[in-house]
A and B are shown apart, each in its own frame.
Chain A
Amino acid sequence: MDFNELIKQTRGRRSLLQAMGAAAIGISFGGLAACSKGEGKKLANGEEAKLNFYNWDTYIGETTLDDFKEASGVEVKMDLFDSNDVLFAKFKAGNPGYDVIVPSNDFVERMAQADMLQALDHGAIPNMKNIDPTFIDVDYDQGRKFSMPYTWLALGIGYRKSKVKAKPDSWKVLFDSPEYAGRIAWLSEAGDMFRLYGKYLGKSVNALTPADIATIEAMMIKQKPNVKNFHVDDGQDLLLKGDIDLVLEYNGDIAQAMTEDDNIDFIVPNEGSQLNSDNLCIPKGAPHPKNAHAFINYLLDGEVGKKITETILYPTPNAAAKALMPDSYKNNPVIYPPADVLAKCEYAKFNPTLQPLYEEAFTRVRAA
């Protein structure tokens, strides 16, 4: 299948929900309790044939859920969330009835610390063998006790080719230069912004100190007049509409915009960037833990993973699925940034002491 055809059918996982945002956030509040009862059809494992899945938008293959029902008899009810913060805030008061959730790496750490996640039974997930070994012993979940990797993504600069003088291959154009004044949009995530500034200053995203935060805050306030907007993860739309020409965004979101407009490109700057990874987890209090294990195992199957990846077009940590994908996907520099740059990218650790400092400093930047 032609790669562009393939990518055209997709949207970014965070984009549509932004458009439907508040409405969609409310969708999943009720209803779960009601539907977890229902007809008492039991499976061989002793659970009813149901599963409640809490996922990002456009983050599953087109037929995956139907295929799973055919294979296992379990009907999956999928609700959508649009930020890790919403996910966390919702679970703070107890599991509202979900069996499988998809938090990002730092939130896997955070939710595990908050005792919200169930340890996975690796024996029930034989397809774990399909996962690229580099994704097994990760800092945020050593040995994958609580989570299975689903996708990964990188932050970088999306830009309109005709409006830049040279490839914006340094964070400088966004963070420390009036060159593109009034045509820049930042991400409105305080933590991501401070960590990426740290990258620009040659520091590790996980080694920032309060002194660094003060330095970065001053730099941000200096750069702020050149920035047009702090976008709520809808940067690809702003870029498409021509409101701005350079934007801090995730690679998958820009890859999707590129299919609609070939004047758009994406680059991970030379200083390196921050990576994220979304992971399948089973929250504590899940009503159908056995089905949940079966579902996670199913999603990690090579063929199933291939179908999901064809739809969502994010980098996949599933080696078996990646091997089945066409070269146009595997060699796409937007989806898989070059290895030398990737080597300089890091995953952000969850840091409970710095997070409020980031937020307060960013509030000051906005107020300045």
Chain B
Amino acid sequence: MAEQDWKTSKRTFAAVSLPTLFWVVVFFLIPMAIVWLYSFGENRGLTEIEFSGTLENYKRATEWLYLTIFGKSFAVAALVTLICLIVGFPVAMAITFASEKWRPWLLLGIMLPFWTNLLIRTYALMMLLGTQGFANKGMGALWEGTSWIKTLVGLQPLPTWEPVQLLFNNFAVVFGLVYVHLPFMVLPLYAALDRLDRSLIEASLDLGAGHFRTIMRIVVPLAAPGIIAGVMITLIPALGAYLTPDLMGGTDSQMIANVIERQFKKANDWPFGAALSFLLIYAMFILIAIQSMRKKVPEVR
């Protein structure tokens, strides 16, 4: 079917887009604009915020302290995204190449965690990773077993098992975020890989490229839009995560979203919190702008 220019049937277009437009304006743009105005405001007393046009909040938000927290949050989110990509790509490939009968079940398996509240999943992970958690108990049992086998063959037994510190550190935060965000990566990857023309892969293999080379030279470039979409959809929420670092992090695991949350609740400093939020939003705009500029390149070719 030929693509129709929206200009040819403006009325239909307006009728169809109006509800969405209304929704975006009333529930997204207007509230965001208010928060944006807050970021140029000052607290007057406990409940009043005066829109004084001050840049003080931004000045404070760009202090070294907050910049380092921004930097750290970016680093954590980038690491999470990278791990999600490395883990998620083979998973998406496997689902793509699974038989018709299995595919819906595998996709369901990916989406199943969404049926449970994020908080409940995080608490479940905490049960798993705790000092007395199942992970440590399992490893302890393996350790004891190895020790026992060593004594059987007449060797010195291993020293006693010391539980590994899996919870309340940066590792736990990254682990928790990867766990939560993996479906966000797998689904766009799957969507991209599913559209892939399989004959290209066969051609590549027939012409003598190895499996790894075929993946890197044929599959990855063709799935690039899916990869970029997956990276964006993973990176942005990971950057704004606050529950996971709060619950699973240690004493130095705060991310920028935790700081923002505290401004709105405990510190009761909405203008400053708004400034921090908007710095984060500007950063994301820049990221998306860079991505859309990159996309232009192949079209020129």
Binds B, one of A71-79, A221-229, A274-282, A292-300: A221-229
Q: Determine if B130 and A241 form an interchain contact, defined as CB atoms under 8 angstroms apart.
A: yes
A336 within 8 A of B: no
Write the nearest CB–CB distance from B128 to chain A, whole angstroms. Answer: 12
Looking at the complex, which one of A110, A229, A364 makes contact with B65 (CB distance below 8 Å)? A364
A44 lies within 8 A of chain B by Cβ: no
Known: A22-B118, A114-B46, A352-B46. A363 touches B65 (CB 8 A): yes
Within A337-368, the residues touching B (CB, 8 Å) are 352, 355-356, 359-360, 363-364, 366-368
Distance in angstroms from A339 CB to nearest chain B CB is 32
Q: Is the CB of A243 within 8 A of B168?
A: yes
B131: which A residues are within 8 A, CB to CB? 241-243
Q: Which of B46, B130, B267 contacts A243 (CB 8 A)?
A: B130
Q: Which of B46, B119, B252, B266 has the most CB of A within 10 A?
A: B266
With A92-B47, A243-B130, A243-B132 already in contact, the answer to whether A230 and B65 are too (CB < 8 A) is: no
Residue from A85, A189, A241, A367 in contact with B254 in the complex, judged by beta carbons closer than 8 Å = A367
Q: Which residues of A contact B132 (CB under 8 A)?
A: 241-243
Complexed CA–CA distance, A37 and B123 (Å): 38
Is A190 positioned at the interface, with any CB of B under 8 Å from its CB?
yes
B265: which A residues are within 8 A, CB to CB?
A: 83, 85-86, 89
A232 to B266, CA, bound (A): 13
A242 contacts across to B, CB distance below 8 A = 130-132
A367→B45 contact, CB < 8 A: no
Residue in chain A with minimal CB distance to B254: A366
CA A334 to CA B118, docked complex, whole Å: 35
**Interface: A166 (CB within 8 A):** no
User: What's the minimum C-beta distance from B97 to chain A, rounded to whole angstroms?
Assistant: 38
In chain A between 82 and 126, which residues have their CB closer than 8 angstroms to a CB of chain B? 83, 85-86, 88-89, 92, 110, 113-116
A190 to B265, CA, bound (A): 12
Contacting A at CB under 8 A, from B254-289, are 254, 259, 262-269
A229 to B269, CA, bound (A): 25
Q: Which residues of A contact B130 (CB under 8 A)?
A: 241-243
Contact with A along B231-262 (1 / 0, CB 8 A): 00000000000010011001110100001001
Per-residue CB contact flags for chain A residues 212-250 toward chain B (1 = under 8 Å, else 0) read 000000000000100111101000000001110000000
A182 surroundings in chain B (CB, below 8 A): 165
Q: Which chain A residues numbered 172 to 226 have a C-beta less than 8 Å away from chain B?
A: 182, 186, 188-191, 224
* Closest CB in chain A relative to B130 CB, distance in Å: 5
Q: Is the CB of B45 within 8 A of A85?
A: no
B167 within 8 A of A: yes
A85 to B250, CA, bound (A): 23
On whether the beta carbons of B252 and A366 are closer than 8 Å, the reply is yes
Q: Does A133 contact B (CB under 8 A)?
A: no
Interface of A is mostly: helix
1/0 per position for A21-62, CB-CB distance to B under 8 A? 111000000000000000000000000000000000000000
Pick from B46, B69, B246: contact of A367, CB below 8 A: B69
Decide if A367 touches B65 in the complex (CB within 8 Å).
yes
Complex Cα spacing A191 to B120, Å: 28
Interface residues in B166-198 by Cβ distance below 8 A to A read 167-168
Q: How far is the CA of A355 from the CA of B265 in the complex (A)?
A: 12
Q: Chain B contacts of A21 at CB under 8 A?
A: 119
Distance of A20 Cα from B247 Cα, bound (Å) = 13
User: Which B residues are in CB contact (< 8 Å) with A243?
Assistant: 130-132, 167-168
Q: A89-B265, A189-B266, A359-B266 are in contact. Are A23 and B250 (CB under 8 A)?
A: no
Contact A227–B251 (Cβ < 8 Å): yes
Interface residues of B in 89-146 (CB under 8 A from A): 117-120, 123, 130-133
Interface bracket on B? 35 or more
Minimum CB–CB distance from B161 to chain A (whole Å) comes to 15
A1 within 8 A of B: no
B205-220: which residues lie under 8 A (CB-CB) from chain A?
none
What separation, in Å, do the CA atoms of A234 and B249 have in the docked complex? 14
Partner among A23, A224, A230, A360 whose Cβ is within 8 Å of the Cβ of B117: A23
Question: Chain A 9-25, CB within 8 Å of chain B: the 1/0 string?
Answer: 00000000001111100
- B46 in complex: contacting residue of A19, A20, A23, A113, CB < 8 Å: A113
Q: Is the beta-carbon distance between A224 and B251 smaller than 8 angstroms?
A: yes
Q: Is A20 in contact with B251, judged by CB distance below 8 angstroms?
A: no
Does B52 sit at the interface, judged by CB under 8 A? no
- Residue B68 is within 8 A (CB to CB) of chain A in the complex: yes
Which residue on chain B has the smallest CB distance to residue A220? B251
A223 CB to closest chain B CB (Å) equals 10
Q: How long is the Cα–Cα vector from A92 to B46 in the complex, in angstroms? A: 9
Decide if A356 touches B269 in the complex (CB within 8 Å): yes
CB A185 to nearest CB in B, in angstroms, measures: 8
In-complex Cβ contact of B168 among A22, A83, A228 (8 A) = A228
Cα of A191 to Cα of B118 in the assembled complex, Å? 28
Q: How far is the CB of A118 from chain B (nearest CB, A)?
A: 16
Please list 14 pairs of residues, one from A and one from B, whose beta carbons are closer than 8 Å in the complex, sorted by A's number: A22-B119, A89-B264, A182-B165, A190-B266, A230-B251, A242-B131, A243-B130, A243-B131, A359-B263, A359-B266, A363-B254, A363-B259, A366-B252, A367-B68
Known: A85-B265, A360-B267. 11 other contacts (CB 8 A): A22-B117, A113-B45, A186-B251, A191-B266, A228-B251, A243-B167, A355-B266, A359-B267, A363-B262, A367-B252, A367-B254
B residues contacting A by CB (< 8 A) are: 45-47, 65, 68-69, 72, 117-120, 123, 130-133, 165, 167-168, 243, 246-247, 250-252, 254, 259, 262-269
